[in-house]
Structure 1
Amino acid sequence: MNHDRSRELYDRALSVLAGGVNSSVRATRPYPFFVERGDGAHVVDADGNRYVDYAMGYGPLLYGHDPPESVQSAVQRYASQGPMYGAPTEVEVEHAEFVARHVPSVEMLRFVNSGTEATVSAVRLARGYTGRDKVVVMRGGYHGAQESTLVEARGDSTDTHPSSPGIPESFADHTIAVPFNDAEAVTEVFAEHGDDIAAVLTEPILGNTAIVRPVDGFHETLRDLCDEYGSLLVFDEVITGFRVGGLQCAQGKFGVTPDLTTFGKIIGGGFPVGAVGGRAEIVEQFTPSGDVFQSGTFSGHPVTMAAGHEYLTYAAENDVYDHVNRLGEKLRSGITDIVEEQAPEYTVVGTDSMFKTVFTREAPETFEDHCEAGCEQRESCPRYDHCPKTGADVGAADTERWERVFWQEMKERGVFLTANQFEAQFVSYAHTDEDVEKTLEAYKETL
């Protein structure tokens, strides 16, 4: 493939954009390809190269790059009527009603402008509602670029420190990081700090550290501890919302109902969005009905609300989840077969329309009775002791090989994957069986 035009654009970008990009994950080596346009399940770059796209905007594009006609019509209609008003519109009420009708935890919402803004607001709300300061998060979890959760623990300790320059140590003093899937560790934390913990904030599935599913009983333990100590359980469903578990989201799939849920990505139909939803008595603590300040110029933007509402309405009335989940399973099953033959130490992960291959370093002695379409954290599986259960497990994989070799080779074969070992990948309604077969052939050649 020729990438001359992308190289030229990146050279220009380095002069005017920090690192040449506007989001750090886009800075692929040696330079990113620049997208000119999307086409269904594909993107075409500035040099005319065409790729099967599994980044899907890092999750928002449930329908790929050609959303249903009803979505496009709604976007055009609302954009033509005026960009925004600084006043409420009917469509934001309709969108909130739809979400509250389908998601188990949601009685009331506040729309914001990004997943980061949603988690920032949820943490502030939890602290304001409980009158407590401490927040428990999962190591390897990601909740956006906010000071309260950009923390890291040293060794096995819960002693947390900022994970980025520019964050005062005092922010990390109120955040406790525990390993995902470690019920014993989080129980010990509550035994020591329970009366000071405002909330546990977790992704139902670690989605920015490959795709790590919960072991049986882990989320139930979090729910029980929060109930016992009067803390709030907050699910960050920015990635999993309306992708895992269909319209009920991951909380419906796992059967655990949080007190608050944060949303982003799909809920905005491909436009910038975030939301905080949950029990009415909690969400009503936001101003103006309560005292916890939250506000935003672009919150509930009519074009975003229209796109998001039509996105979800179309999914409710058509076979969207049947299609994407079937293709997701086909991809994971096919990659599992390839891995078993060519790289048995690797682990295929994912669920519904999400998938990833983690370059783990150890394999079991047998593959008999293994999970056939992505790790399910099933104790009877011979891979159970080898598959990733925490963010650290994913970090210990051969992450450099993914970024420096595998991603590059897949790109040259016309398959656009997320750029590192950690970010999840997605199937869209626009993908076809032919796309999956092409992708599996590329995996076979590359691995």
Structure 2
Amino acid sequence: MNHDNSRTLYDRALSVMPGGVNSAVRAAIEPYPFFVRRGAGGHVVDADGNRYIDWVMGLGPLLLGHDLPESVRAGIQRNASEGPMYGTPTEIEVDLAEFVVRHVPSVEKIRFVNSGTEATVSAVRLARGYTGRNKIVVMHGGYHGAQESTLVGGDAENPSPSSAGIPQSFAEHTVPVPFNDEDAIRDVFDAHGDDIAAVLTEPILGNYGIVHPEEGYHEFLRQITDEHGSLLIFDEVITGFRVGGLGCAQSEFGVTPDLTTFGKIIGGGFPVGAIGGRADIVEHFAPTGDVFQAGTFSGHPVTMAAGLETLQFAAANDVYDHVNGLGDRLRRGLSDIVADQAPSYTVTGTDSMFKVIFTRDGPGKESLEEQCDAGCRQHPTCPRYDYCPKNAADVKDAETERWRRIFWGEMKDQGIFLSQNQFECQFVSYGHTDDDVEETLEAYKDVL
């Protein structure tokens, strides 16, 4: 493939943007990222005319793919043509709020913001303001945006900032624990229960290779937070309106958090975030409560239109049947390929999310007939159970450099665009086809 135009664009970008990018993960592609010119269905075309099957989908927001259905496009264009924004409420934000409240179990009231990061920042502030407590429990490898309260590493006893520019005093109020570790959660509540405002977790780790909760884990979090008067916050920026359909991942797991954060799909591909939950908690946001939150672009009418049109189209058509069916075919096909060619690797994902994690160890090849056949579900009876990742550390111990430096580039050369590293998940859209799945499986078979 020729990449001369992308190389020229990246050279220009390096002169005016740090690292030549506006989000750090985009620079993970070496020696430089390709620049996209346009999207088409489930594909993208780069600045040099190379065409790829796109399983990144903007890192998740594009449920419908790059070619929006006519009704969705018309609704967005109609709102854009009437004016960009007004600084006052609009009917379309009420319409979208009502739609979300009708479909998501935890949401009685909702506040729209401008990004997933802003949503989690606001949710953490709200939890602290509502409870009068300081500490937030987070999961190792859980990603909640570029914010001071969650860019924290270390362990429960020795938390430390994971980025320069964050004071140690901020990190002291954040308690990181391993995902799927009930004992670690108990220890934290035994030590700090009176000062824990909330447990903040993704229902499924989505920025660390896709890690499912073990059976009963979310129910345990619900119980222990209730016992201690803390809040349970689900970060559904990735899983919201993708896993579990319109009810989101919380409906699939049958656990209702106190607060939920949203992003990506709820804005139909435009910048968005939202915090929803119990009315008595969300009412603590200004102007009805004492937790300040505001934003010039919050509830932006074009974004609200894009989100509402996307979700209404999904509700009225076979969107979830289509994307989940293709996701299931992908994961089943990948499971067969991996069992034959790389039996130590683990296929993960659910609904329209998928990933192959290059885990280093696995069961004997002869035992894999009884494995989870469409992505790891943490079933104790699965022969992979003792080897599949249970938390972020397990994913980090995989062959991440082989994935990034060898596998990713060879897949790109086959015309398959995968997420830029071992950790980011991959997504199916309504624009993908059976042929896209078959071509992708053939590429995995050839490259692995």
TM range (shorter): over 0.9
Residue 303 of structure 2 aligns with which residue? 304
Query: How far has the Cα of 1:153 moved from its partner?
Result: 1.1
Deviations 1:333-377 (A, max 9, x none): 111111011100100000000000000000112213101110010
Partner residue in 1 for 2:133? 132
Write the distance in 2 (CA, Å) between the matches of 1:104 and 1:158.
Answer: 35
Please name the residue that 1:199 is paired with: 198
Is contact 1:364-1:383 (8 Å) kept?
A: yes
Give how far 1:83 is off: 0.3
Q: Secondary structure at the match of 2:200?
A: strand
1:319 aligns to 2:327 (yes or no): no
Say which is worse superposed, 16-25 or 363-372, in terms of deviation. 363-372
- Residue 60 of structure 1 corresponds to 61
- Greater alpha carbon shift after TM alignment, 71-80 vs 248-257: 71-80
1:265-307 Cα distance to aligned partner (Å, 9 max, x none): 0000000000000000000000001010000000000000011
Task: Answer with 140-149 or 358-367: which moved more.
Answer: 358-367
Q: How does 1:264-343 map to 2 (within 5 A)?
A: 264-343=263-342
Quick check: 1:401 aligned with 2:402?
Answer: yes
- Partner residue, 1:377: 378
The aligned runs of 1:129-168 (5 Å cut-off) are: 129-154=130-155, 158-168=157-167
Q: Does the residue aligned with 2:197 lie in a helix, a strand or coil?
A: strand
Aligned sequence identity (%): 73
**1:74: how far off?**
1.1
- In the alignment, the residues of structure 2 paired with residue 344 and residue 160 of structure 1 have an alpha-carbon distance, to the nearest angstrom, of 36
Task: Tell me the amino acid that sits aligned with residue 374 of structure 1.
Answer: G
Structure 2 residue 345 is the aligned partner of structure 1 residue 346: yes
Q: Distance in 1 between matches of 2:310 and 2:342?
A: 38
Aligned to 1:9: 9
C-alpha distance in 2, partners of 1:409/1:20?
23
One-letter amino acid matched to 2:142:
G
Q: CA deviation at 1:69?
A: 1.2
Q: Are 1:158 and 1:178, in contact at CA under 8 Å, matched by a contact in 2?
A: no
Q: Which residue in the other structure is 2:19 paired with?
A: 19
C-alpha contact (below 8 Å) 1:359/1:398 kept by paired residues? yes
Q: d(CA) in 1 for partners of 2:157 and 2:232?
A: 19
CA RMSD of aligned residues (A): 0.6
8 Å CA contact 1:359–1:402 kept in 2: the answer is yes
Native 8 Å contact 1:52 1:435 kept in 2: yes
State the one-letter code of the partner of 2:9.
L
Could you tell me how far apart the structure 1 residues matched to 2:17 and 2:83 are? Answer: 30
- Tell me the equivalent position of 1:224: 223
In 2, Cα distance between equivalents of 1:147 and 1:71: 36
Name the CA distance, whole Å, in 2 between partners of 1:351 and 1:391: 18
Quote the offset at 1:2 in angstroms: 0.6
Residues in 2 aligned to 1:369 and 1:341: alpha-carbon distance in whole angstroms? 14
Q: Which runs of 5+ in 1 are unaligned?
A: none
Question: CA deviation digits over 1:122-178, x for unaligned, max 9?
Answer: 000000000000000000100000000000015xx5421000011000010000000
Unaligned runs of 5+ in 2: none
8 Å contact from structure 1 (residues 35, 44) kept in 2: yes
The whole-number CA distance in structure 2 between the counterparts of 1:439 and 1:134 is: 44
- Structure 1 position 187, deviation (Å): 1.1
Q: CA deviation at 1:70?
A: 1.5
Following superposition, which runs of at least 4 residues in structure 1 exceed 2 angstroms of deviation? none
Write out per-residue CA displacement over residues 98-125 of structure 1, whole angstroms, 9 at most, x where no aligned residue. Answer: 0000000000000000000000000000
CA distance in 2, matches of 1:111, 1:239: 16
Q: Secondary structure at the match of 2:240?
A: coil
Letter in 2 for 1:311: T
Counterpart code for 1:170: S
8 A contact 1:137–1:178 mirrored in 2: yes
Shift of 1:250: 0.2
Q: Counterpart of 1:260 in structure 2: which amino acid?
A: L
Secondary structure of the 1:214 match is: coil
Amino acid at match of 1:22: N
